[in-house]
Chain A
Amino acid sequence: MDGGMVAAAPLLEVEDLSVQFVTREATVNAVSGATFNLKAGEVLCLLGESGSGKSVTLRALMRLLPGRARVKGRVNVAGQDALALKGRALQSFRGGTVAMVFQEPMTALDPVYTIGQHLTEMIRRHKGVGRAEARAQAIELLNLVKIPSAERRIDAYPHELSGGLRQRAMIAIALSCGPKLLLADEPTTALDATVQIQVLILLRRLQQELGMGTIFVTHDLGVAAEIADRVAVMYAGRVIEEGPVADVLRRPAHPYTAGLMASTVHDQAPDQDIAAIPGSPPDLRRLPPGCSFAPRCSLAMPACRQGFPEPVFPAPGRMARCLRVADVLQQPVGVHA
């Protein structure tokens, strides 16, 4: 799990990214000040429960949010200011520099086009090569993602493939134009368990071979442990803890991460109750003034409700936004914070 820790300038820098959805009735703060960065060849897992802003963050990086979303902050991908791109530059940025693998391979492929048509359309658009050359490259890509008998499967429609093969085809499409940054939005959630691990291993290997930076969104701690170099834990639209995957999962520094770990099924006795985090995530229309986890946190102090805690760095490469990091780190894992 050491991954390709290439020492280089960050491929992706996200600074103070916030996304608001404004409607007549309310303003929803889907993401409020997320900050993280990613080196080339590194896998970052965005971890968090539903509604914590993981998918919205991904879509903001690719500028896929609808017009009514207000995006603020700074997103820098391979030296380009992603939030300022327009027109042609934006189109070649999407798919060329950054590519995305979606959660549902069934609905993310157009049912009236074959896998090959999807691939060649994309290759021809971005590389401007001829039909035959694009088809040859498409078959190569299908071989790369280990689709058996690619020469025949290239003419298959999405509904003629199994879920796992479809997701492989999605990955091939995402990889077709050699992106520097791959965004994966829960790419294994819709697959069954045995296929999940195959797709994970494939993604991990391709990422290493091609040296892509990868952001992997998931709510599954096991998936994160399997694929990530680093994890960033999101809660209510903020990154509340970040660090190397083994450190964060073994010795969480934030009470929320500790709570997540405690509520996961691992080696407990079969009849043992699983500790749940009390309460529920905050209403994104009315975030509490201080730390958004404070209302559910057993370690909360009055100071926690004053303002959102500034980042602290308990160890090199680790970040947590909590006033009581020292206390959390001392606790054994699995005991509820």
Chain B
Amino acid sequence: MNKPVALAVAEIPADSDFDGAPATKVRGYWQSVGYRLRHDWVTLGFGVIVLLIVLAAVFAPLIAPFSPYAQSIIGRLKPFGWRGHPWGTDELGRDMMSRLIYGGRISLMMGLVPVVIATMIGGTLGVIGGFAGKVANTAIMRTMDVFYAFPSILLAVAISGAMGGGIVNGIISLSLVFTPAMCRVAETATAQVKNLDYIEAARASGAGTLTIIRHHVLGNVLGPVFIYASSLVSVSILLASGLSFLGLGVQPPEPDWGLMLSTLRQSLYVDPLGCALPGIAIFITSICFNLVSDGIRAAMDVRI
């Protein structure tokens, strides 16, 4: 007990090959995401469908067999294959296939644009709210909570109804509907990142607040925000279709899946299959977007 504390620790050669696992080839983050995606057949398959839908929308004038606006009194509600109309005609004798292809343009735009706008506005507000002090956080987040109090469809209907129909107003109302949710996701992610050691380490290495936000906060918040945004695309398509169905979104004669569903509804007993086509298009598009965003989320998660 009276021995002095051992002061010298046995000599360990300082240059020994410490935890030196052989330096394997290091794969970068995006390379490993790509690797995981290439081996995920479900995501790849549905990704191809999404790609086809997008391509069809982009090149609609080249693909569509007829004009989507050309009406025909005698050729109304005809079955598949009637006089060269592969999917028949609608209640005004317009070619169903052409209208569905052109309708994809508007539906995809209504799916993507509001989400992009909401991501930019909500994401910015969320990062500010998460990183700034208590007052800014309370001001931003309580305002967002007020929007949260309404169901999203009700809110979209209310805003569109107040501003009138049309594509632009539909986009504005959907953006407003998605902004609070994006803001909340960005705020939560920022608040989590803010308290991590590497933010303190960055500060300890002399980084200013803007540098920290730009490099360390955005770099770590963008992932969850992007994943959430991609899952909103299908919701946005559905909501936009709903607005059109109610007559609050796209106005006739523009081809839009929701609007087509609404006008074809009256012919349900005459041509049930034709009436279902726009619904099937909405269903396939939104489920494909959902599954692809799910797959990307899984591939981007480093921990799996």
The answer to whether A binds B is: yes
B19 touches A195 (CB 8 A): yes
**One of B201, B207, B223 near A102 (C-beta < 8 A):** B201
Residue B206 at the chain A interface, CB threshold 8 Å: yes
Task: Report the minimum CB–CB distance from A300 to chain B (whole Å).
Answer: 24
* Chain B residues bordering chain A, tally (CB within 8 A): 41
Determine the residue in chain A with the shortest Cβ distance to B16.
A198
B3 touches A94 (CB 8 A): no
A104-160: which have CB < 8 Å to B? 104, 107-114, 121-122, 125-126, 146, 148-149, 152-153, 155-157, 159-160
Residue B253 at the chain A interface, CB threshold 8 Å: no
B26 touches A62 (CB 8 A): no
A109 touches B198 (CB 8 A): yes
CA distance A202 to B88 in the complex (A): 78
B2 touches A333 (CB 8 A): yes
Task: Report the minimum CB–CB distance from A78 to chain B (whole Å).
Answer: 15
Beyond A95-B206, A197-B12, 10 extra complex contacts between A and B, CB < 8 Å: A64-B203, A95-B204, A110-B219, A111-B220, A114-B28, A125-B206, A174-B205, A198-B12, A221-B5, A225-B9
A249 touches B7 (CB 8 A): yes
Within 8 Å CB of A112, what residues of B? 29, 219-220, 223
CB within 8 Å of A: which residues of B? 1-7, 9, 12, 14-21, 23, 25-26, 28-29, 196-198, 200-208, 211, 215-216, 219-220, 223, 302
CA distance A240 to B9 in the complex (A): 27
Asked whether A201 and B14 contact (CB < 8 A) given A162-B19, A195-B19, the answer is yes
Determine the residue in chain B with the shortest Cβ distance to A122.
B205
**One of B2, B206, B215 near A110 (C-beta < 8 A):** B215
Stretch at the interface among A6-14, A18-26, A259-267: A259-267
CA distance A102 to B201 in the complex (A): 7
**One of A104, A164, A173, A202 near B197 (C-beta < 8 A):** A104
Within 8 Å CB of A1, what residues of B? 7
Determine the residue in chain A with the shortest Cβ distance to B3.
A267
Q: List 18 A-B contacts (CB under 8 A).
A: A64-B204, A95-B207, A110-B215, A110-B219, A114-B28, A122-B206, A125-B207, A149-B23, A164-B18, A197-B9, A198-B12, A221-B5, A250-B4, A266-B3, A266-B5, A266-B6, A267-B1, A335-B1
A93 touches B206 (CB 8 A): yes
Within 8 Å CB of A264, what residues of B? 5
Chain A interface category by residue count? 35 or more
CA distance A236 to B163 in the complex (A): 65
Residue A304 at the chain B interface, CB threshold 8 Å: no
Within 8 Å CB of A107, what residues of B? 196-198
Asked whether A155 and B26 contact (CB < 8 A) given A62-B204, A91-B208, A197-B12, the answer is yes
Within 8 Å CB of B201, what residues of A? 100, 102, 108-109, 170, 173
Task: Report the minimum CB–CB distance from A121 to chain B (whole Å).
Answer: 7
Task: Report the minimum CB–CB distance from B279 to chain A (whole Å).
Answer: 41
CA distance A267 to B1 in the complex (A): 7
CA distance A111 to B208 in the complex (A): 19
CA distance A334 to B302 in the complex (A): 50
Determine the residue in chain A with the shortest Cβ distance to B196.
A107
Residue A294 at the chain B interface, CB threshold 8 Å: no
Asked whether A332 and B2 contact (CB < 8 A) given A113-B219, A225-B7, the answer is yes
A152 touches B18 (CB 8 A): no
Determine the residue in chain B with the shortest Cβ distance to A201.
B14
Asked whether A146 and B206 contact (CB < 8 A) given A112-B29, A197-B12, the answer is no
A153 touches B197 (CB 8 A): no
Within 8 Å CB of A126, what residues of B? 206
A94 touches B23 (CB 8 A): no
B205 touches A202 (CB 8 A): no
CA distance A111 to B20 in the complex (A): 21
A205 touches B14 (CB 8 A): yes
Within 8 Å CB of B203, what residues of A? 64, 94
Determine the residue in chain B with the shortest Cβ distance to A221.
B5
B-facing mask of A227-270, CB < 8 A → 1, else 0? 00000000000000000011001100000000001001011100
Determine the residue in chain B with the shortest Cβ distance to A199.
B18
Determine the residue in chain A with the shortest Cβ distance to B200.
A64
Determine the residue in chain A with the shortest Cβ distance to B216.
A110
A91 touches B207 (CB 8 A): yes
Task: Report the minimum CB–CB distance from A336 to chain B (whole Å).
Answer: 11
Task: Report the minimum CB–CB distance from B301 to chain A (whole Å).
Answer: 12
CA distance A44 to B265 in the complex (A): 82
CA distance A91 to B23 in the complex (A): 35
Determine the residue in chain B with the shortest Cβ distance to A204.
B14
Task: Report the minimum CB–CB distance from A18 to chain B (whole Å).
Answer: 22
A146 touches B15 (CB 8 A): yes
CA distance A125 to B205 in the complex (A): 9
Within 8 Å CB of A261, what residues of B? 5
Residue A73 at the chain B interface, CB threshold 8 Å: no
Task: Report the minimum CB–CB distance from A171 to chain B (whole Å).
Answer: 12
CA distance A173 to B202 in the complex (A): 10
CA distance A95 to B212 in the complex (A): 14
A157 touches B29 (CB 8 A): yes
